[in-house]
Amino acid sequence: MNIESREIINNWTLYTLTNDHNMSVSLLDFGGIITNISVPNRNKKVENVVLGYKNISDYVDNPNYLGAIVGRVAGRIQNASFILDGKTHTLETNEGVHHIHGGSVGFHQVIWTAHPFQTAETVGVRLTHTSPDGEGGYPGNLEVSVTYTLTNKNELILDYSATTDKSTALSLTNHSYFNLSGDLAETIHNHHVTIDSDEFIELDKDLIPTGKKIHVANTPFDLRSGRYLADGISSTSNQNLIANHGYDHYFIFNQKGQKNVEVKEETSGRIMSIKSNQPGLVMYTANTLNEGIELAEGYSKPYLGVCFETQASPASLHHEGFPTVVLNADEIYEKQTVFSFSSEA
């Protein structure tokens, strides 16, 4: 196990975590951004499986949130406002009339305080930050930490913790775009994805939840037994078309098994499993990813990566019956998501 750090630009530091099995993870203290995850394929060839800019300075403007911590609330908040404890809180409108991913002062734009650590079987970095009451329109002084831990089992563990002195809205996630083909060899059409979910949340034309849950049976959203992402990308289902030909939807986990998600890429043999105590996730197939951005292994285009944003649902701020994003002053926010990597012969 090993950890290296080096200063890059703008007083940012890049940390690289390496385990004993040729897996490594690189991340910035700026935005908590994961810039690289390198894992072996079935032939032991080590390649990067996430999208990252070739030039680190390009993360200054990161409109696609590549690899970043997203908060205070991941996802879209309808009409950039919500009512909590009888008071209306108005947020920045940064996607039409709506609010997305914490706004321009969101956690993806913060230089976090980094605390590297190492044990016999793990290596990692704990990031901490204080968000003041009223920042971005959100109530409450928020103390938050996000810990990245790499294990010798080829697990990347993300632990989120937070406390607030006022009731607030909080749902943190990581916005990495995964591509298990390695070094962006292929698009994600042939990624085979299994999600333990019976229901997803319907979206309107602005990609705002309508308040309706839809059962996945007999739809391209039935990933309970696994299916290729190409099914949803090429689907003529209204919900896939609304999302710009693909997925950008919240799936509610059944929480019955040992894992919530499994992703396989047959050419490389790589497998990624995801387990989280979050109530669900947004799966986004990069349907509107900007073209021509210079990445570490080539240029960006739609469907070059897939995000698995484990989180609660911002729909809960406007509709009953959804996983809540409310954190009260007497509560501790504690969430964990584990990404496990392996390969098949």
Domain coordinates in residue numbering, the chain: 2-184+277-343
What band does 172 get if pLDDT is binned at 50, 70 and 90?
very high
Q: Tell me the C-alpha distance between 196 and 130, whole Å.
A: 34
Q: How far apart are CA 295 and CA 55, in angstroms?
A: 8
pLDDT tens digits for 74-111?
Answer: 999 999 999 999 999 999 999 999 999 999 999 999 99
pLDDT-derived band at 258, boundaries 50, 70, 90: confident
Mean pLDDT of 321-327: 96
Do the Cβ atoms of 201 and 250 come closer than 8 Å?
A: yes
Q: Are 270 and 154 in contact (CB under 8 A)?
A: no
Neighbours of 326 (CB within 10 A): 16
pLDDT the model gives residue 345:
79
Per-residue b or e along 300-315, where b marks 16 or more CB atoms closer than 10 Å to that residue's CB:
bebbbbbbbbbbbbbb
Q: Which of 336, 235, 214, 339 minimizes the C-alpha distance to 285? A: 235
User: Rounded to whole angstroms, how far apart are CA atoms 191 and 177?
Assistant: 13
Q: Which of 98, 108, 175, 191 is catalytic?
A: 175
Q: Which has the closest alpha carbon to 176: 35, 25, 342?
A: 35
**How many Cβ atoms sit within 10 Å of the Cβ of residue 109?**
17
Q: How many C-beta atoms lie closer than 10 Å to residue 96's C-beta? A: 13
Instruction: Report how far apart, in Å, the C-alpha atoms of 320 and of each of 125, 212, 213, 275, 314 are.
Output: 37, 10, 11, 26, 11
Cβ neighbours of residue 199 closer than 8 Å, sequence gap 6 or more: 213, 214, 215, 216, 251, 252
Q: Which of 199, 202, 265, 309 is catalytic?
A: 309
With cut-offs at 50, 70 and 90, classify the pLDDT of residue 334: very high
244 burial level (CB within 10 Å; 0-12, 13-18, 19+): middle
Answer yes or no: 175 catalytic. Answer: yes
Q: 342 phi and psi, to 5 degrees?
A: -155, -175
Its pTM stands at 0.97
Confidence of residue 297 (pLDDT cuts 50, 70, 90): very high
Taking residues 251-278, what's their average pLDDT? 95
The predicted model gives 273-297 an average pLDDT of 97
Task: Tell which residue, 306, 72, 59, has the closest CA to residue 193.
Answer: 306
Confidence of residue 255 (pLDDT cuts 50, 70, 90): confident
Q: Which of 100, 127, 93, 124 is nearest to 113 (CA)?
A: 127
Nearest Cα to 268, choosing from 48, 54, 20? 48
Q: Residue 145 has what pLDDT?
A: 98
Q: What does the mean pLDDT of the chain come to? A: 97
Residue 202 banded pLDDT, cuts 50, 70, 90: very high
Q: How many CB atoms lie within 10 A of CB 140?
A: 24
Cα-based angle 192, 53, 308 (whole degrees, multiple of 5): 30
Write the DSSP assignment of 213-255 as a string of letters. Answer: EEE-TTSTT--TT-EETHHHHS---HHHHHTTSS-EEEEEE--
What is the three-state SS of 150-200? EECCCEEEEEEEEEECCCEECECEECCEECCCCCCCCCCCCEEEEECEEEE
pLDDT at residue number 257: 76
Provide the CATH number for the domain formed by 2-184+277-343 in this structure. Answer: 2.70.98.10
What pLDDT score does 133 carry?
Answer: 98
- Asked whether the CA dihedral 74, 78, 83, 87 is positive or negative, the reply is positive
State the pLDDT at residue 16.
98
Quick one: average pLDDT of 168-185? 98
Q: Which whole number is the average pLDDT over 21-34?
A: 98
pLDDT confidence of residue 256: 81
User: What is the mean predicted confidence (pLDDT) over 234-244?
Assistant: 98
